[in-house]
A and B are shown apart, each in its own frame.
Chain A
Amino acid sequence: LAKTTQPISMDSYEGQEVNITCSHNNIATNDYITWYQQFPSQGPRFIIQGYKTKVTNEVASLFIPADRKSSTLSLPRVSLSDTAVYYCLVGDIADGGATNKLIFGTGTLLAVQP
């Protein structure tokens, strides 16, 4: 059974870089790691996805170490509008292989202050 662990909350100030780490000790070898952002009263929205090393897009970077037991979402120069809950997502695992179930973490509430 896969499980993800994230900090419950984080505080930051505008303009700072924020790094949110997710632990996923039991991840299938062929699985991806995906991060979502959720604002109040809205559905989650895709941010970034990666398999290993580093992935960067226009809004974030994702760092995945060689053992893939964790991943770090990096948000450069956050603004007030980045205040949201951030979830990491991996597939469930059984008998050493990925299943078709998806496991979200409990999410990290990022509060950005002026």
Chain B
Amino acid sequence: EAQVTQNPRYLITVTGKKLTVTCSQNMNHEYMSWYRQDPGLGLRQIYYSMNVEVTDKGDVPEGYKVSRKEKRNFPLILESPSPNQTSLYFCASSRGLREKLFFGSGTQLSVL
């Protein structure tokens, strides 16, 4: 089944403790991206990747890192999480930039 898999689904952590949210897709998509969703602010793009080893900042990249060493994986890294990064995070992939996006189920992150 074609899908985007994010893990974990829920995560509670403390300020400053490095964490990684994984994202994997099995559709051989070139474009992958991360979003955060906050009440009243909709979906905001954090980082995106056009292909392997090609990543760039979205609208709200501060405090986040990504890597794209393989086509299928696009992990989101929070080196030193802070409470203002408490949010619902979504990973998405598509064949290309203007193609239909397929989203993961989301990761609810709480930073205490």
Q: Could you list which residues of chain A lie within 8 angstroms of chain B, going by C-beta atoms?
A: 31-32, 34, 36, 41-46, 49, 87, 89, 91-92, 100-107
A41 touches B45 (CB 8 A): no
On chain B, the residues within 8 Å of A89 by CB distance are 101
On chain A, the residues within 8 Å of B98 by CB distance are 31-32, 34, 91
On chain B, the residues within 8 Å of A92 by CB distance are 59
Taking a contact as CB atoms closer than 8 A, the residue among A41, A46, A106 that contacts B41 in the complex is A106
Interface size class of B (residues with CB under 8 A): 20 to 34
Taking a contact as CB atoms closer than 8 A, the residue among B40, B50, B100, B104 that contacts A43 in the complex is B104
**Would you give 24 A-B contacts (Cβ < 8 Å), ordered by A?**
A31-B98, A34-B101, A36-B101, A42-B105, A43-B4, A43-B90, A43-B104, A44-B43, A44-B92, A44-B103, A45-B103, A49-B100, A100-B48, A100-B50, A101-B48, A101-B56, A101-B59, A102-B48, A102-B58, A103-B45, A104-B35, A104-B42, A105-B42, A107-B42
